[in-house]
Structure 1
Amino acid sequence: MISQKAKYALRALAALAQAHPEEPMMISEIAQQQSIPKKFLEQILLDLKRSGMVESRRGKQGGYLLLKSAGEISFGEVLRLVDGPIAPLPCLSQTAYRKCEDCDGEHLCEIRHVFARVADATREVLFNTTIADAVEGAGSTKAPVRELLSA
């Protein structure tokens, strides 16, 4: 299950993807449009800025813009940034691998073999689905971001 913070991050990115590319969106505008608490959104946008996904502009016409295109930001990248490792078991993590405490041998573990397939399938979907795919999903066979996040 993904965190509320990750859902909000994905929704904020979707809002920015749908905005005019050269007109920054204010935090209050994103918060209201996406029903995200403003203070929480500030923290999320700061994390996204540090990661190079968004940029902020100061001043009267300030706000946030996508720094990368929506087609370059995958769901997997956002989830890994916000929630950490995606793998269902620590011994399957690509970024935070560690041996399970009760492990007698990974090659013999029936549980690991099954969850390795789950992890591979999950990564395949998450890292091949972009914010642009989700935003464009309403007119295609892919689900829009709100549907993807409410499951």
Structure 2
Amino acid sequence: MYSLFTYLVNISVKFSKKSEYGLRALIELTKNYGHPITRQQIGQRQNVPVVFLEQILLRLKHAGLVASTRGVQGGYALIKLPSKVTLGHVIRILDGPLAPIGCVSKTAYQKCVDCPYAKKAHCPLQHVMGGVRNAIADILDNYSLEDFISGMNESRRSPAHRTMARR
């Protein structure tokens, strides 16, 4: 029998290496804001495999966050203000929606197919997982690349993060 517990165990709220490496690359680009740096420099400074950086930086370029310049003085540079780029925005670019399950996504809703509650009027998971999505988004959408570099301002932290910090 398919139980709610089994369903919850199969849900993973984990971001991909792509997002991790992308955030590391953007941290390096933020540190060097206004000056292009090469993939090799980013990889070396942030301990990120250069092979992955090409795909990640290309996606960030298509999203309008970074620009590339060819030549000896070339490389990649952050073109948006670091204060305007949130971690949530970056993760959505690289991984897609923040929602742990498709039926609670605000940007990429997917009807549940294998959920035992899919055909019922009320799903207990939607309420809980919607809260999880909101908490994740609240934290990630309130931290910018600038916050990573200059230190996080306590007043900008979300209520969920302040609660976690007290534990």
TM-score normalized by the length of structure 1: 0.86
TM-score normalized by the length of structure 2: 0.78
- Could you say which structure has the greater relative contact order, defined with CA pairs below 8 angstroms and 6 or more residues apart? 1
Pairs within 5 Å for 1:131-150: 131-137=145-151
Counterpart residue number, 2:128:
114
Percent identity over the alignment is: 41
Gaps of 5+ in 1: 143-151
Q: Which has the larger radius of gyration?
A: 2
Aligned length: 140
Which of 95, 104, 110 is equivalent to 2:119?
Answer: 104
4+ runs of 1 displaced by more than 2 Å?
none
Letter in 1 for 2:65: M
Which of 39, 42, 50 is equivalent to 1:30?
Answer: 42
In structure 1, how many angstroms separate the alpha carbons of the residues matched to 2:60 and 2:67? 8
Q: Per-residue displacement from partner, 1:106-133 (whole Å, max 9, x unpaired)?
A: x511111111111111111111111111
Q: Per-residue displacement from partner, 1:53-90 (whole Å, max 9, x unpaired)?
A: 00011111111111101111111111111111110111
Counterpart residue number, 1:65:
77
Counterpart residue number, 2:165:
none
In structure 1, how many angstroms separate the alpha carbons of the residues matched to 2:36 and 2:110? 41
What SS does the corresponding residue of 2:110 show, helix, strand or coil?
coil
Counterpart residue number, 2:57:
45
The two structures, once aligned, show a CA RMSD in angstroms of: 1.8
Residue 137 of structure 1, CA deviation: 2.2
Residue 15 of structure 1, CA deviation: 0.4
Gaps of 5+ in 2: 1-13, 157-167
Counterpart residue number, 2:21:
8
In structure 2, how many angstroms separate the alpha carbons of the residues matched to 1:22 and 1:71? 14
Letter in 2 for 1:11: R
Which of 63, 71, 74 is equivalent to 2:86?
Answer: 74
What SS does the corresponding residue of 1:108 show, helix, strand or coil?
coil
Residue 22 of structure 1, CA deviation: 2.8
